[in-house]
Structure 1
Amino acid sequence: MAAGAPITARRIAGLAVPALGVLAAEPLYVLIDTAVVGHLGALALAGLALGGTMLSVMTSQLTFLSYGTTARTSRLYGADRRADAVAEGGQATWLAIFVGLVVFGLGEVFAYDLSMLLAGDADVAARSAQWLRIALLGAPAILITLAGNGWMRGVQDTVRPLRYVLIANAISAVLCPVLVYPVGLGLVGSAIANVVAQYLSAAMFVAAIARERAFRRPSPAIMRAQMVLGRDLILRSASFQICFLSAAAVAARSSAAAVGAHQIVYQLWAFLSLVMDSLAIAAQALIGAELGAHRAKAAMAAAWQITRYSFALGCVLGLAFALGYLVLPGLFTSDTAVLARIPEAWWFFVVQQPIAGIVFALDGVLLGAADTRFLRTTTLAAALGGFFPLIWASWFFGWGLTGIWFGLTVFLVARLVATVWRTRSGVWAVEGA
C-alpha cells in the first residue's frame, strides 16, 4: 500500500488485523507451554510461572524497540524515503542486539536472587532460575523481533511479521512437548523450545532487513536518538507495571478469593487491551506516514477516524461482556467464593471498554507522532497520582476489589481527558521526517 493512499476502513483493518495476530501469538504460545509443563507437577509449573513472569517484565520494559521504531520509520516512509526507513530498522536491530546482551548478562547473574526474592521458597526459586537462565539466551532475539515488528509496521507491512511470528511459535509449540517428555528434558525442554522460537523469529527479521541491504554498521547517533524515545516509553511502561503489581499484591492481601477474582477479570482486561492495541498500532503507522509526508490535516482526520472505530469497538466489547456476565465467569472457575467477588471488578471492567477504546487509539496517534514526552508525563501522573494511591487506599480502608478497579477507571479517565485535549490541540502534528 502506497504511503499516500486514502485512509479507508479497509486500509486500517489491513494493518490492524495482522498486528492483532502478532500480539496474540505470544500469549497463545505461553498457554500451550503452561499446559505442557503443568503435567510435570506443581513445582515445575511454579518455576515456569515465576521465570516466565520475570522474563516478560524484563522484555516488556523494552517495547520502545517496537513502538519507538515505528514512530521514526513511519515518518521516513511517509516522506517517500523507504530506504532510510528500513535503514532505521537496521539500527534498531543493532540496538536490540546490544541491549539484549546486557539483559542476558544481568539476568544470568541475578536469576536466582530475583527468583528467591519473589518466591520465598528455595525449591521454587531453583526451578525458576533454571528455566530463566536458559530462556535468557533468547533475550537478544526477543528484542530483534520487537525491532523488526517496529520497522515493518513503520513501512506499513504487518503481514510479514505475523507470518514470521506464527511460523516460529508453531514450530516451538511442537518442539516443546517433544523436548519435555520423549526427550526427557522436563522444564529445561520448555526453556530450550522458547529460545528456539525466539531465534527462528529473529532470523527471519534479520534476513528480511539483509535482503533490503539495510543491515549496515552501527550508528551511535541514530541509536542515541532511538534511546531518547526509549527513555520516555520505559518510564511510561514502568508506571503500568508498578500499578498492576500493586493491584495484585493488595488483592492477595484481601483473600484468596479476591485475588482469584482479580486475576480472572484482569486477564480478560489484558486480552481486550491486545485487541484494541491492534488499532493503536495502525494509528502509529498511518499518523507517522502522514506527518512525514507533510499532511498534518490528513493526520488529524485519520486520528479521529481511527478513534471513532476504536470507540465503537470498545462499546461492542463492553456490551458483549455485560450480556455475558451470567456465563463468562463460570468458564474460568467453579469456586463459589471467587465467583462471589467477581462483580466487584466486573462492572468497572465493562464500563471501561469504551473509555479504553478512545485512550488506546489516541495513545497510538501520539506515539505515531513521537509525542512520547507528553505520554510519559501524563501516564506517570495518572498512574502515580491516581491509580497507585487508590490501590493502597483500598487495602488500608478495606475497599477490596471495588477500590482497585475504581482506581483503574480513574487512571483511564485521566488519560482520556489528557489525550483528547492533546489531540484536539494539534500541537503534536509536527510535519516532516
Structure 2
Amino acid sequence: MPQAPAPPRSGRRHDREILSLALPAFGALVAEPLFLLTDSAIVGHLGTAHLAGLGVAAAVLATAVNVFVFLAYATTAAVARRVGAGDLPAAIRQGMDGIWLALLLGAVTAAAALPAAPWLVGLFGTSPTAAPHAVTYLRVSALGIPAMLVVLAATGVLRGLQDTRTPLRIAVAGFGANAVLNVLLVYGAGLGIAGSAWGTVIAQCAMATAYLVVVVRGARRHGASLRPDAAGIRACARAGAPLLVRTLSLRAVLLIATGVATRLGDAEVAAHQIVLTLWTLMAFALDAIAIAGQAIIGRMLGAGDGTEARSVCRRMVGWGVVSGMLLGLLVVVARPLLLPLFSTDASVHRLLLPALVVAAVFQPVAGVVFVLDGVLMGAGDGPYLAWAMLATLAVFAPVALAVPALGGGLTALWWVMGLMMAVRLLTLGLRTASGRWLVTGAVRG
C-alpha cells in the first residue's frame, strides 16, 4: 500500500534543512577551484611557459587529490549515522579514523609524487620550456597533499555532524590566505612559480589545522579518543574502496570524452573544454544538494527512521529537478553572453552553440542523478554505486569512441554525454525505488 504524501509542514521543514546545509556547501565547493584560478592569474604574469607548466602540474595534482574524494563522502555517511543514533563520541571517533586514513594516504601519495614529478609531467608531452616550471610547482605542491586529504576527511566529519557552515568559513579564509601568500611569495619574495606553490601549501596546511582544532575540541568535549585505531582505519578504507572505484570510473568517462573531442579537431576540443567547464560549474550547484542528502539521509537512517529518509529523498529529487531546469534555462538564455567570454574564434562558437544546448537540456536529469548519488552515499550504499558507475562506463565508452568513426561531431559527443547521465539516472533510480538502500542503524551491516 503506497504511503501517504508528507504533509506540507513536513515538506517545508525538509526544505529549510536542505537549504541550511546546501547553501554553505555550495559556497565551499565554489571556493575550491578559486585556489587554482588565483594561482593561474598570478603565475600568468610570469610568462606563458610558467602558466603552461602550472596547467600541467595542476592537472596532475588535482587527479592525485580528487581520486580520494571518498574520504569526504564515506566519512560523511558514517559520521551522520552515528549522529542519528545519538552517539556523538562514536561519531567523532569514526571521523578521527577517516582523518588518520587521510594522513596515511597523503603521506604515501606525496612520497610517490616527489620523485615521479618529471615522469608525470612528461606524460602530458609538456614542452621543454614549460616542463621545468611544471616539475617545480608539482614537487612543492606535493608536500601539501597530506593536508589536502585531511581537509577532505575533516570536511566529511563536519558534514556528518550536520555542519556545512564551518567548512565554508575555512574555505573562504583559505582562499584569502592563498591569494595574499601568492602575491607575497611570487613577487615580494621573488620565488616565481615555486612561491605560488608554497602559498598553496601553506594555505592548505592552515586549513587542515583549523579543521583539526574544531574536530579535536569536539573529541575532548565528548570524551572521544584521538589515537589512531588500526581496526577503525581499515574499516574506513573498506567503506571508501567502492567509492574510489566509482570516482575512477567517472574520471574515465570524462577522460574518454576529452580524448574523443581531441580526435575531432582543435576547434572541437576547445569548444568541448568550454562546455565541460560550464557543466562542471553547474555541477557544483547540484552537488551542494547531494551533500545535504548525504548528511540528512545518513542521520535519519542512523536514527532508524527509514520512512522519513524516503520522504526527504523525494523532496530532494524535486529540488534536483527544479535546480537543473533553472540552470539549463540560464545557460540557454545567457549563451550569447557566455561565448565571447571564452573564445573569439567563430568556428569555436559555431561548434559550441548546439553542444551547449544539449548540455543544458540534460541539466534536469543531472539534478536528479546528483541527488540520488548523494542519497545512496548517505545510506552507505557504496558497492552498488561502484557497480552502477562501472556499468555506465561500459555503455558510454564504446558509443563515445564510435562518434568519430561514424562521422559525428561535438554535438553528437554531447548527446552521448547525455546518454551517460540517462544510464546513471536509470541505475540510481532503480536502486532508490527498490528501497534496498534503507538500511537503518548506527552502522550499516
2:411 paired residue among 396, 402, 410: 402
1:149 paired residue among 151, 155, 161: 155
2:364 paired residue among 338, 346, 354: 354
Structure 1 match to 2:261:
251
The alpha carbon displacement at 1:7 in A equals 4.4
Structure 2 match to 1:428:
437
What amino acid maps onto 2:142 in structure 1? L
The alpha carbon displacement at 1:377 in A equals 0.5
The alpha carbon displacement at 1:182 in A equals 2.2
What amino acid maps onto 1:74 in structure 2? A
Is 1:411 aligned to residue 420 of structure 2?
A: yes
1:388-411, Cα deviation, whole Å (9 max, x unpaired):
222211132231212321221111
The alpha carbon displacement at 1:229 in A equals 2.1
2:191 paired residue among 160, 176, 185: 185
Instruction: List 4+ stretches of structure 1 deviating above 3 A.
Output: 4-7
For 1:34-433, list aligned pairs within 5 A: 34-212=40-218, 213=220, 214=224, 216-383=226-393, 385-433=394-442
The alpha carbon displacement at 1:6 in A equals 8.6
- Unpaired runs of at least 5, structure 2: 1-9
The alpha carbon displacement at 1:86 in A equals 1.1
When structure 1 is superposed on structure 2, of 65-74 and 401-410 the one drifting more is 401-410
Q: Aligned partners of 1:7, 1:153: CA distance in 2, in Å?
A: 19
The alpha carbon displacement at 1:5 in A equals 12
Preserved contact between residue 11 and residue 315 of structure 2 (Cα < 8 Å): no
Q: Aligned partners of 1:72, 1:15: CA distance in 2, in Å?
A: 17
Q: Aligned partners of 2:384, 2:41: CA distance in 1, in Å?
A: 41
When structure 1 is superposed on structure 2, of 256-265 and 398-407 the one drifting more is 398-407
TM (normalized to structure 2)?
A: 0.94
The alpha carbon displacement at 1:225 in A equals 1.3
Q: Quickly say closer, same or farther: Cα 1:236–1:401, change in 2 above 3 A.
A: same
1:170-227, Cα deviation, whole Å (9 max, x unpaired):
1111110121112111100110001011101000111112212246211111111111
Q: Aligned partners of 1:119, 1:249: CA distance in 2, in Å?
A: 15
Preserved contact between residue 49 and residue 133 of structure 2 (Cα < 8 Å): yes
What amino acid maps onto 1:82 in structure 2? L
Q: Aligned partners of 1:242, 1:400: CA distance in 2, in Å?
A: 20
Preserved contact between residue 22 and residue 292 of structure 2 (Cα < 8 Å): yes
Structure 1 match to 2:7:
none
Secondary structure, aligned partner of 2:286: helix
When structure 1 is superposed on structure 2, of 330-339 and 271-280 the one drifting more is 330-339
1:54-111, Cα deviation, whole Å (9 max, x unpaired):
0000110001110000010000000011121111111111111111000000101211
Q: Aligned partners of 2:130, 2:149: CA distance in 1, in Å?
A: 27
Q: Aligned partners of 1:69, 1:41: CA distance in 2, in Å?
A: 41
When structure 1 is superposed on structure 2, of 257-266 and 204-213 the one drifting more is 204-213
Q: Aligned partners of 1:163, 1:426: CA distance in 2, in Å?
A: 36
Secondary structure, aligned partner of 1:342: helix
- Unpaired runs of at least 5, structure 1: none
